A and B are shown apart, each in its own frame.
Chain A
């Protein structure tokens, strides 16, 4: 038997027999679902936290007092604790804590993963957005306010659209990180793609082929998004010059 035939046999044994490739296909689906939902949650949390942090810092300079000042200070303190704790502990530990402690009553592992990674990603997205907001000239806020637009309206209509544009590449980066990080979900028994490959390894006692395929799929997705990011950056640079 030639080497090529041998490889063919192995591939059939590892992937085709008993439709074992489905472990990877289904795993890929779960990986993508968890990544996208977590990213969405992370974006929402990230924008809110970033707006609270910048609003607080801007008001601080103007010496805000009274009840609004108190509320801002409390919100800001919550956000800072959140950022410090989430960025200061491993995602793996957060996942285990969520699964075995905070959401121990839940049997929905996808939900546990989405919440964990959404909350985790939110902290990084918040800092990305904060730098994006701070990169916008303060004259933009003043122009909006001088027209009679409120702070929230100016933020929403004038500052955030520009900030989001500036941080899009960084957000795509965050998504790539997130995609790869979800591979630790196997530790709570969630059948995402990495675990799918690992299950095949366990059944067939073949490690190289299934894990190689899993790696190749991650790589393909990451390269696809890197390519998108490159195009995006070029488009943004062009629109800056218009």
Chain B
């Protein structure tokens, strides 16, 4: 699905990502963990070029998207992204939030888009919020809407950057629930999170990042029960 070769990213003289090599196969659910500032968000954001890599290759669906002349807008349609702070469009109703991109990009007509929006809202039990505005929703509801907004584009892969970190504890479950459903439906996912329970349950692979490097990776059992790297052990001892 996506292959990252020798990815480097620097901000000024600050090297944030250093020679990242990674392959995520279709259907995989990769959970990325690591201390704050280790480059997890930057890694994720490089995958859909919200950050321009300093050097390296990112091959998505057979296309090297770092090449000049690639239509990045076309590529991004197939890669949904969910942000820590939801980033819903506050001036638009929930339905409009969902249908704006598919309609403007002429992927669906308005009726189709509204129908699809209703179908997805039903799936996350938020159909009664169709005409509400983001400001009227709780954090958990906002994040479920944000996930659904990405799903409207029928993405092949979803990127999640700490989707539950801005939520009150009682709302974390409802968002993780939607993500688990998505995982069960076979979605290819890359998830940055501090929810170790979710990682254990859903991840096919866990990556531990520190100082811009993937220090260690393996199945959840390997990483959580038998970490090899000292930094991994130290990090896990703090968060578990």
Within 8 Å by CB of A139, from B73, B87, B135, lies B87
The interface residues of chain B, by DSSP majority, are classed as mixed
Q: In the bound complex, what is the Cα–Cα distance between A142 and B149 (angstroms)?
A: 14
Q: Shortest distance in angstroms between B129's beta carbon and chain A's nearest beta carbon?
A: 12
By a CB distance below 8 angstroms, the chain B residues around A145 are: 50, 73, 76
CB contact list, A53-80 vs B, under 8 A = 62-63
Within 8 Å by CB of B91, from A63, A137, A161, lies A161
Interface code B72-89, partner A: CB below 8 Å = 1, 0 otherwise?
A: 011111011101010111
Closest to B81 in A: A146
Q: In the bound complex, what is the Cα–Cα distance between A157 and B103 (angstroms)?
A: 12
CB contact list, A108-122 vs B, under 8 A = none
By a CB distance below 8 angstroms, the chain A residues around B101 are: 144, 147-149
Cβ A241 vs Cβ B77 within 8 A? no
Q: Shortest distance in angstroms between A152's beta carbon and chain B's nearest beta carbon?
A: 11
Known A142-B83, A242-B136; contact A147-B153, beta-carbon cutoff 8 A: yes
Within 8 Å by CB of A147, from B90, B91, B135, B150, lies B150
CB of A143 within 8 Å of the partner chain: yes
By a CB distance below 8 angstroms, the chain A residues around B80 are: 146
Cβ B50 vs Cβ A146 within 8 A? yes
Cβ A149 vs Cβ B83 within 8 A? no
Interface code B28-44, partner A: CB below 8 Å = 1, 0 otherwise?
A: 00000000000000000
Q: Shortest distance in angstroms between B136's beta carbon and chain A's nearest beta carbon?
A: 6
Cβ B76 vs Cβ A140 within 8 A? no
Q: Shortest distance in angstroms between B9's beta carbon and chain A's nearest beta carbon?
A: 12
Known A62-B52, A148-B153, A149-B104; contact A143-B89, beta-carbon cutoff 8 A: yes
By a CB distance below 8 angstroms, the chain A residues around B87 are: 137, 139-140, 142-143
Cβ B104 vs Cβ A153 within 8 A? yes
Q: In the bound complex, what is the Cα–Cα distance between A240 and B73 (angstroms)?
A: 30
Q: In the bound complex, what is the Cα–Cα distance between A144 and B48 (angstroms)?
A: 13
By a CB distance below 8 angstroms, the chain B residues around A147 are: 76-77, 100-101, 149-150, 153
CB of B105 within 8 Å of the partner chain: yes
Q: In the bound complex, what is the Cα–Cα distance between A142 and B91 (angstroms)?
A: 16
Within 8 Å by CB of A240, from B50, B76, B135, B146, lies B135
CB of A158 within 8 Å of the partner chain: yes
Cβ A157 vs Cβ B153 within 8 A? no
CB of A162 within 8 Å of the partner chain: yes
Closest to B132 in A: A242
CB of B133 within 8 Å of the partner chain: yes
CB of A165 within 8 Å of the partner chain: yes
Q: In the bound complex, what is the Cα–Cα distance between A62 and B27 (angstroms)?
A: 33
CB of A186 within 8 Å of the partner chain: no
Within 8 Å by CB of A150, from B73, B88, B135, lies B73
By a CB distance below 8 angstroms, the chain B residues around A143 are: 81, 83, 87-89, 146
Within 8 Å by CB of A242, from B50, B85, B135, lies B135
Cβ A165 vs Cβ B91 within 8 A? yes
Interface code B169-186, partner A: CB below 8 Å = 1, 0 otherwise?
A: 000000000000000000
Within 8 Å by CB of B48, from A146, A149, A158, A161, lies A146
Cβ B52 vs Cβ A142 within 8 A? no
Interface code A205-236, partner B: CB below 8 Å = 1, 0 otherwise?
A: 00000000000000000000000000000000
CB contact list, A123-168 vs B, under 8 A = 137, 139-140, 142-150, 153, 157-158, 161-162, 165
Q: Shortest distance in angstroms between B200's beta carbon and chain A's nearest beta carbon?
A: 28
Q: In the bound complex, what is the Cα–Cα distance between A144 and B73 (angstroms)?
A: 10
By a CB distance below 8 angstroms, the chain A residues around B85 are: 137, 139
Q: In the bound complex, what is the Cα–Cα distance between A144 and B101 (angstroms)?
A: 8
Closest to A142 in B: B50
Q: In the bound complex, what is the Cα–Cα distance between A157 and B105 (angstroms)?
A: 12
- Taking A146-B81, A148-B76, A240-B135 as given, write out 8 further A-B residue pairs in contact, using a Cβ cutoff of 8 Å, ordered by the A residue number: A63-B52, A142-B83, A146-B48, A148-B101, A149-B105, A157-B104, A161-B91, A165-B91
The interface of chain B, by Cβ under 8 A from chain A, is 48, 50, 52, 73-77, 79-81, 83, 85, 87-91, 100-101, 104-105, 133, 135-136, 146, 149-150, 153
Query: Could you list some 27 contacts between A and B, CB below 8 A?
Result: A62-B52, A137-B87, A139-B83, A139-B85, A139-B87, A142-B50, A142-B81, A143-B81, A143-B83, A144-B89, A144-B101, A145-B50, A146-B48, A146-B76, A146-B79, A146-B81, A147-B76, A147-B153, A148-B77, A149-B73, A149-B101, A149-B105, A162-B90, A162-B91, A165-B91, A240-B135, A242-B136
